Structure 1
């Protein structure tokens, strides 16, 4: 069985270890697996964590995984995973933080909330993963390279260079791109987590979201690459102030400051603020505010405890018609229709 230490648990997992832990659950008559035709839920043994992993096979070559874990202590896992050597994985951090290192690769990988990662390894994955104490929520999607090739067609020039090389059959031991999630990515991940459908409708809906997340991820990688030279003009202190500006907006959705007021509050001129938002968040200041206002409005309407007019005021709209127009542009439904469907 895995070796354990009290302060930071060091666990080395092999296939027999995992089988033994799940066998213990079965012996106690605790269900470890629940599944239907296209969906499987794995409840993890308490020696690892409290939580579950939900795996959905959307179509051949396309899979989605949702992880919901709670670690009572910081946990370090030694991993060895073979197979699935031609899968492109793109993951999105919802809560928590992990750090990892792939054996033979001189590179540390950090993955935390509100960040995404796109990549794959063409060899067996071995190394370590360290999980911080507390809640860990992650959404990951997988596409095999044949499926991705079918989607991309002959347009490899539009992909990040390393990914295009891998699809063209060139040897590539490791491909990994990371970045901060845009508001659009955050919004789509929440749509996935709160998917309202079942059966075939659910599968088709989630297939569309996988493609949407793929498009958003590749677009963001391309945007960051194209603006890498410009980014050098932003100092670390500038980027810190851009994040501070975003926090001010999120704390004041009902009555946000004007662009000039926001510039003054974070001690950046309005030009640098606008450029900074595009480079850090992939959208304008207004676009960032709009995305989060709509996300908040959706959550409030889904809760069903407030009227449409009250929700509009809470997210900063004094004109109900303007709020309805903005909401319908985002979700395809009026606020009243959305609330009634919930």
Structure 2
């Protein structure tokens, strides 16, 4: 990853840190540059500022709406349809991150490697806190993405947890246990009220300072509901986890092995032995990081590759079925139709942007 002077290709393949600052930039620097932009809308008296940022690319790929609440909570709203996968490095800044993904998977991996997947399907959300010495990568693949991210400063979050008193002790303990080379990561179910607040926020028609005020109000509602769910889940012994950089690398190795040979379907024990872990840990950690099972991830990759071979390589349905590990063309046709909503023969009519707009 470059740390300064990002070339055009970085902007086209990166996310909002890269678009506003440069590849590898801290989130705080990206928002500082946002604040200095003449197009930024601000309410200095109450510490709010932000604006909509177009996704850089060759075509209209949507936008990110970025708003700061007193530089203590950074809000990033994504309404995008990416024409290509986008990746950027996330340096450690001490944030407690809350991610709500309404449409489209995301991937997380250690810096310098391709990404491990973290997919969260509504009404779930993910809480993430990285150790002080663990940069990681966020990768959003080609296709639609509709999401909300709240990046809460350690200072603000400490005050929040203190205000909760006894209820916040379990959260404080979990985060205190995160070592410099570890990533805390937990998925939980949203309450109905929080889910409705997220939908209202994403559908907001407010503009100017009114929008800043609306976003602040809704984000506080979502944040406090999420912290309540988190505290309740810990009190009732719900599973969460702390993953080391080695764990992330092993899951990345497993993902790469799946990607490397889509014709081959390895069993869980075989895949675990191949990457140097045990089957039980592989199943738990892979599902924890990806939000999907090994089988579900493999299916998604096979379908994406099948679409590429049909639309770009113009291969026959029979050739594509064999290339992605199906012995029978009829089974492949059924799986493809279930995944995308149209038949493989129709995929050959798709090109470029049409592929990005396809389902799945």
TM-score between the two structures when normalised by the length of structure 2: 0.48
Give the TM-score, by structure 1 length. Answer: 0.50
Identify the structure with bigger relative contact order (alpha carbons < 8 Å, sequence gap 6+): 2
